[in-house]
Amino acid sequence: MTTPVPGPVRPPATVRPDDARRALVAGSVGNFIEWYEFGIYGYFATVIAAQFFTPEGGSEVEGLVKAYASFALAFFFRPVGAAVFGRFGDRVGRRPALVVVVCLMTGATAMIGLLPTYASIGAAAPWLLTLLRILQGLSAGGEFGGAVSVMTECAPPGRRGRYGAWQSFTVALGLLAGAAVAVVLASVLTASQLHGWGWRVPFLLTLPLGLVALRLRLRLPPDEPPARVPGGRVPGGRAEGGTGPEGGTGPEGGPRPRPGETARAVVLGIGRMMGWSAAGYTFLVVMPSYVQSTLGATFQQALLGTVLANLGFAASILPAGGLSDRIGRRTVMVAGALLVAGLALPLLHLVQDPGAPGYAKGAALFAAGAGVGLMAGPGPAMLAEMFPARVRCTGLGLAYALSNAVFSGCAGLIITEVVARTGNVDVPGYYAAATCAVSVAALLTLRGDDHDRPLR
């Protein structure tokens, strides 16, 4: 039996600066839309619960739980989207996959803004909303893998962490944009107007945003799918090197991944992302409904707190990504996970204290967001470095989607239900701290020089 000999590994070609910038913008814009949409659903969860999940005489808490159940269901379709569109991106090309997912996301989100409510069509309303949430989940699952692959594969040498960090930075921008729209609507509309038609406006705004994203993605240069490129090259001219989770050679001479190794890398990626996913949604999305339903805050106060948390998140992402290019992904991400794990409960207690000054509560929320940003900044590059080009879209997309399905999508449902059943208002802090502690253990398995190695 002869041992397969790998095909020649070509040296990385220089990526033109214009192509690198185009890939960065096109990869970021779809992610901005995705998180803008998921943000506004979280911010308007109490309104959506009243319009779609609370029949006449129904419990507000029960309606909120159902709204978050629909929220979670969309997340559980993300892995399906990651598998389907990730495979499409790995086999056919990154650009076609990114074009399809942004069209699907934009159409489904705009349709939510046109849906009739429970008062108009009865029990069909929540089912229609849930169907559109499923379509959003499928498209969002395919978005991350394709966008991060394009952004990291086209990154200049030594800047993969910073380029990948733009994916997380557009998460913050999308959430902040959603919060800004919610604040404006809550300020200029009466409560009856907001519940009657105002909540539809943020969803309809995704239509022009989606058209802009589509135009940018159609301008991406055509890419050759890794599975068909001889010599192990990937789009953008980068070479597949190293041994990693691949074995033997494929029909084109490049390394062939072992399915078992890829699956183990996905599981490890989930562990490394767990704290980022759970703490991110706890502090950045779920918090408005939590402080309203549990602490009695007004809608405007809740949104202001969320804006401060997201500002802290946004402020730390790009510096964290850039720092990880110099000192390594492991050091920066472990620091972020430890910070959130150690401070989650004290920060939450400060927010809960009615006697604490407003500036202290704002600073606490800002710090919580900044801790999450330390994990989110290097995170995309860390995931891209775990998988060879032939399975990169699929592998990192699945790790991201599964982690978000379990630990982000369920965050609102778990926190709201457990607080309602136990009366323990510290549940969000315990949830964020526990998941970050598990992530620390998984992140410690990273090699210190992963950031210096070429993408495989």
Residue 258 has a pLDDT of 63
pLDDT tens sequence across 150-167: 888 888 888 899 999 998
Residue 223 has a pLDDT of 63
pLDDT tens sequence across 84-93: 998 888 888 8
Range with lowest mean pLDDT among 18-27, 188-197, 237-246, 279-288: 237-246
Q: What is the pTM of this model?
A: 0.75
User: Residue 233 and residue 295: Cα distance in Å, rounded?
Assistant: 55
Residue 7 confidence class, pLDDT cut points 50, 70, 90: very low
What angle do the packed helices 124-153 and 160-188 form, to 10 degrees? Answer: 150
Rounded mean pLDDT, 392-398 = 89
Decide if domain 17-221+257-451 falls under CATH 3.40.50.20: no
Range with lowest mean pLDDT among 79-88, 204-213, 328-337, 418-427: 418-427
Residue 418 has a pLDDT of 82
pLDDT tens sequence across 57-79: 555 565 666 666 666 677 788 88
User: Residue ranges of the domains in the chain?
Assistant: 17-221+257-451
| Selected residue with higher pLDDT from 98 and 293 | 98
pLDDT tens sequence across 119-152: 888 878 888 888 888 888 888 888 888 888 888 8
Rounded mean pLDDT, 337-353 = 85
The mean pLDDT value of the chain amounts to 79
What is the distance of C-alpha 418 from the center of its chain? 24
Range with lowest mean pLDDT among 50-59, 78-87, 317-326: 50-59
